[in-house]
Amino acid sequence: MAYFRWRRALEFASLDHPMIGELFLRRRFSEPKLIPPSGWDEQYQQGVYDRLLRDDQKHHLRLLGSLIGDGRADLSVLEIGCGEGAFVEVLRGQKVRAYVGVDFSPVVIEKARARFSREIAEGWVRFEVGDGRAYSEPARFDAIVFPECIEYLGDVEALLNHYEPMLTPGGVIGVTQWLGIRPLRLWRKLKRIRTVLNEAVVSAAWGGAWVVTTLAPKAKAN
């Protein structure tokens, strides 16, 4: 417990003072390796991520939902890395016109479709199997969100360049990341390459914490 508290204090300090975190990284940073769909299927079948559906695991999602929905009616949302649809539960209380959730894993998409069969029948929710690095939709969205998955999707600037044309005018990108020294490197890169609209750290009573960020898309060249 003492180590966990010390580690959390270090991570909070690293938000404003990057060099503090860098001093404690023991090896060079590398992007997380992409897990093949079969790997995600196995983990979902084993229930590894069932905990993400618990109420005490959704604080960051509730904040993200509030930020992307602020001042908007009839919101349309594309979620990359949707899992079993925890974010849909957050969006139920908002005025959402359309939601599309995308995940690598056919297993988890089937779970999500079963879990939200009523919302699918109502016509405002859809789940699709797809590669989050290159998924494409003809529709346009008010928000495109990446909850705790953006670090698995390759070069972040290329990723944003791919998805931003799918935004409506005034649309936003939403990102959540686990608060950790290594993920903070990616968070700082996001801040360098895009304009931050909102950012906050959300903590849970059990000790977990997330960084929640909304970003404006890159301005189009005249």
Q: Where are the domains of the chain?
A: 2-216
Backbone angles phi, psi at 160, to 5 degrees: -65, -40
pLDDT at residue 207 in the model: 72
pLDDT score of 191 more than 70:
yes
pLDDT at residue 90 in the model: 92
Beta pairing partners, 75:
96
Average pLDDT over residues 185-189: 84
Query: For the purposes of burial, counting CB atoms within 10 Å of the CB of 98, is it exposed (0-12), middle (13-18) or buried (19 or more)?
Result: middle
Residue 8 confidence class, pLDDT cut points 50, 70, 90: low
Contact between residue 103 and residue 131 where contact means Cβ atoms under 8 Å apart: no
The reported pTM is 0.84
Tokens of 214: 């909304």
Residue 83 confidence class, pLDDT cut points 50, 70, 90: very high
Contact between residue 68 and residue 75 where contact means Cβ atoms under 8 Å apart: yes
Residue 88 confidence class, pLDDT cut points 50, 70, 90: very high
Residue tagged 């903590």 (tokens) = 203
pLDDT at residue 124 in the model: 96
For domain 2-216, the CATH architecture is 3-Layer(aba) Sandwich (3.40)
**CA-closest candidate to residue 103, choices 120, 85, 84, 81:** 81
User: pLDDT tens, 106-160?
Assistant: 999 999 999 999 999 999 999 999 999 999 999 999 999 999 899 889 899 999 9
pLDDT score of 178 more than 90:
no
CA distance 66 to 53: 18
